[in-house]
C-alpha cells in the first residue's frame, strides 16, 4: 500500500515543468528514495563513529612497542 504526498510549487515552476515531457512523480519519488539512502548511510556512519569513540584507549604506542621489544 502507498500514501500520497502533495508538493506545492509556484505557478512559474509548474509552467516550466509543463515544457518538458517528464514524469515528475517518478522523478520526485526517485529523488526521495536516493535522499533517504543517503540519510540512512550518514546515520550509519554516525553510529560507527560513536562506537569507535567509545572503544578508543589512551595508550602511548611507544610504551607498547618498548614492552614488546623487551619481551623478545
- Note the pLDDT tens digit of each residue in 19-66: 999 999 999 999 999 999 999 999 999 999 888 888 777 777 788 888
- In the numeric block, which cell numbers belong to residue 22? 517528464
In the predicted model, what is the mean pLDDT of residues 3-32?
96
Greatest Cα-to-Cα distance within the chain, rounded to the nearest angstrom: 78
CA geometry: angle at 33 spanning 9 and 14, to 5°? Answer: 15
Global pTM value: 0.67
Amino acid at each position: 500500500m502507498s500514501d500520497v504526498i502533495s508538493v506545492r510549487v509556484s505557478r512559474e515552476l509548474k509552467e516550466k515543468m509543463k515544457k518538458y515531457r517528464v514524469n515528475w512523480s517518478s522523478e520526485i519519488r526517485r529523488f526521495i528514495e536516493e535522499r533517504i539512502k543517503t540519510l540512512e548511510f550518514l546515520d550509519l556512519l554516525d553510529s560507527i563513529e560513536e562506537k569507535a569513540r567509545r572503544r578508543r584507549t589512551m595508550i602511548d604506542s611507544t610504551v607498547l612497542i618498548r614492552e614488546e621489544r623487551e619481551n623478545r
